[in-house]
Amino acid sequence: MTKFDFLPVSKADMQERGWWYYDFLVVTADAYVDHPSFGTAIIARVLEAEKYRVAVLAQPDWHSAKDFLAMGKPRYGVMIGGGNIDSMVAHYTAAKKRRSSDAYSPGNRMGLRPDRPTIVYANRAREAFPDTPIVIGGLEASLRRFAHYDYWDDKVRRSILFDAQADLLVYGMGERASREIAGRLARGEPVENLTDIRGTAYAVKEPQAAFESLTVPSFERVCADKHDYAEATKLEYEEHDPIRGRALLQRHGDRVLVVNPPAMPLNREELDFVAELPYAREVHPMYDAQGGVAAIEEVRFSVTHNRGCFGGCNFCSLAFHQGRMVTSRSHESVVREVEGFVRDPKFKGYVHDVGGPSANFRHPSCKNQTKHGMCKNRSCLAPSPCKNLDPSHSDYLALLRKVRAVPGVKKVFIRSGIRYDYMLQEKNSEFFAELVKHHISGQLKVAPEHCSAQVLDYMGKPHFDVYEKFRDKYQRLNQRYQLEQYLVPYLMSSHPGCTLSDAVDLAVFLNKTGRQPEQVQDFYPTPGTLSTCMWYTGLDPRTMEPVYVAKSPHDKALQRALLQWKRPEMRRLVVEALHKTHREDLIGYGKNCLIRPLHQHSANQNHAENRTHTGKKRRK
């Protein structure tokens, strides 16, 4: 693999190709990995396929405009993305503690990109190229396209478009919009005229839109009134549909943000085309001396076969980014990709994943949505499945069988999320049986998240009896095929609507089943989700009814400790939580008790040690 398999990253690269100019500069906050799992690579290769000359600037030094100027001025524009995952999530835990490593940077090094890089890079690009159109996109821009609550600043921030001082914002999966923007800029159209492109946002002085439009509460109103914030969120979600959605207008001071309706999802042929562009499928060799880029390892031999998710989890940003309408690649395209794996010397015969946002979605949830769009106020799966749902797994099953049959493939795993509630809607168990027999590497991870019906309703998840039905069937199938494979449930603490009593109930359930999760995800209020709106406003935007929220670090720690009650360091918090909820019955020696009472001798010894320790401190 040489640098010529990649797009140019320096002036020397351009000159070696005989380039004395280039058309678009694509800037990313990740290291440069030329693989279709990285959004930057996709957009860069899509533009290249349109015959533009594209250069990549990965993780530039943001302290000045020097790195932006290094390859010269692009003829048509700068396109900027904040990376594959949100930069603030990449940098901070849910407790706002700084992380120690970054899998998307060479050698896992932290500090190679700033917080909120989309804003920082866009401002540096404007400094470098004052008259060049600047377009921002990717996950970070997509989820911050409206005025939004920022967990890290603990305040409502205006649309990222204004802080970035960009000309256009592309949201969602950006191939269609990026292609149209590039074509019109190349034809000499002024960037301020590009106001009629789906999947984009821009700012104007007077409220106007090229599409049927609706006004949502202004930035000033959503800052001042949480009810207005919840109302804005509700409208933003209702109109996020490529078929029936309207443009949304939101005033920010003396300007108006215009968010055009979403772009139509790519169809099967278009997805195939994008997936099979000439990616190097590797980390750029300039990182070899720094230890490479770890993020490639999980996706190097994985296939993304679908886009979109109609699962509708309220804490997940996918619905607001990729959308709820599912599209998928052809079997032939997926098989060709896997055949390419076999030719790679690093391939050991194991396909790590054939998945996507939800692995077992291959087609729209029902026939109606292709004509009328997704239902405005109805989830396809929760709290109960829609009667119009099409739960067939036949197409996915046929695809997996073809991938397993590729010469050189030993095993095909499914590591993306499986929607078990969707699986159980199918009357025959053929897919379930083959999942158990062929596609699990010792354990299957699924996400019931909680056991409380009330909490699950706030999450947008099915009730717990659905998980129990799935678990029992999973165990029976493993027994039938004499396999020892485990089910690992993902659980979440402190989601809006989850009280301390709900957390106790979940701990009691886990104790009865003899399982304690090794890891618990504390709810993380990321921009753009319905759950984040609940967390900030204390209101459910779907109903405008009040929602209990465990907000203080201590309240969140109590809930988390209950799900890890066996850990010695959690004991004090668990005892406090049980006393607060009047569940002292769970402190004792019975089989249903979470913890044992502190032995009197141990208590006296600890008391004496504390007195001695205190005395020493005083003498000092």
394: tokens are: 């036949």
Distance CA 545, CA 211 (A): 32
| pLDDT of res. 607 | 46
| pLDDT of res. 599 | 62
Residue that is written with structure tokens 């399982």 in the block: 515
Residue at 119: amino acid letter: I
CATH number for the domain harbouring residue 172: 3.40.50.2300
| pLDDT of res. 312 | 87
The total number of structural domains in the chain stands at 2
Measured between alpha carbons, how far is residue 556 from residues 153, 551, 573 in Å? 18, 7, 11
Range of the domain at 512: 486-620
Residue 436 resides in a domain: no
List, as one string, the DSSP characters of 239-287. Answer: T--TTT--EEEEEETTEEEEEPPPPPPP-HHHHHHHHTS----EE-GGG
Residue 354 resides in a domain: no
Residue 534 burial (C-beta neighbours within 10 Å; 0-12, 13-18, 19+): buried
Q: Which of 202, 220, 248 is the last residue of a domain?
A: 202
Distance CA 437, CA 485 (A): 10
Residue 556 resides in a domain: yes
Average pLDDT across each block of 10 residues of the chain; the chain has 620 residues. List them in order. Answer: 90 96 98 97 98 98 97 98 95 95 96 97 98 97 98 97 98 97 98 97 94 98 98 97 97 98 97 98 96 95 96 91 95 98 96 95 92 89 93 97 98 94 94 97 92 96 95 96 92 96 94 79 95 98 97 94 92 95 95 82 44 44
Residue 235 resides in a domain: no
| pLDDT of res. 378 | 85
| pLDDT of res. 614 | 44
Residue 295 resides in a domain: no
Measured between alpha carbons, how far is residue 319 from residues 311, 354, 516 in Å? 8, 20, 30
Residue 505 resides in a domain: yes
Residue 386 resides in a domain: no
| pLDDT of res. 610 | 47
